[in-house]
Structure 1
């Protein structure tokens, strides 16, 4: 057994003493150690600062390990330091440092880049964590080590004011029916008397009246009376 293995055994033993790993079954403990070794190796081999995509990939791997929808999900969350909630995660930064092999500022920076914002501790946040890990009901000191990080978009949706109901456009009024006035058809004069009666007030200069009357008289047939 080399020095690294000895150090690993000591660290696991110390973790067991704190209660974070002692709840795991043998199978889950083996899976935890495999994850930790994998992450530590990747971090050690990284030449420069890793991209946030790699951190996000590791979170997904942790979730696959933790969430198996059985009675031991909460124990694996307790050991890894990550509780996966709806649109948020609860973090025990110390446990996550041990698992990932990264420093606190690096983990917090990656979480911020992924859009996870720390929520202030409150009765509501405590209840969310307690429902996920029942051991917190009797160990409130351990509860204080956990913080909830909520997705930025989800937080905006919660704080957004409800939209006002859509105002319906007024129904356009029906156009008024326009009734055209019937124009009276002019009655043609048939006799000289009719012509004279209809043209007394006709605005015709005096010098042109003779010609106008003459044209009317010529157009009207005169019936000879016997």
Structure 2
């Protein structure tokens, strides 16, 4: 199991961003991942690199319960093993050909990844729904300071015009970027969703401005 991301559940995407039979990229500190959803709906996470020629698997495609590389079509299962090599249809791929896998799952509309084989339960966000995700150049502490809220286990509770909202944060890449998922009350109206999305953009500008001034770093 790869050990280059933190040993805890990390929010990498919203469930709505990963339809059935699709794959998306995710960046975490020193790990680039391909997150994919099989036809059955199961979510998997693998290193974003095909062992054959190094092509990003997040550029690939999902058919049934397998993820295929866009380059030469090498097909991988949920456990990371190579299932088939189109150029050699009669060959049974050896077990040594496999892509590194991460533990993945989803709860309350959020997709989580863990580097641990056995981890605690995924965090609960019952009563919220995912609205959108952004990446910004500021720390989670700076983000929390901008709205006068507490950062608790990489989550920030936020009231937007009296409506409940929550920000889930995770480091994204080696450049210090921060991935932020906005969750809002599941009873929110369309107008409230628009207002929340606008508020998030304003918060992004405030946090990046504060980071540039060296505040709450």
State the TM-score bracket (shorter-chain normalisation).
under 0.3
| Rg larger in structure | 1
Kindly indicate whether structure 1 or structure 2 has the higher relative contact order, using CA contacts under 8 Å at least 6 residues apart.
Answer: 2
Structure 1-normalised TM-score? 0.22
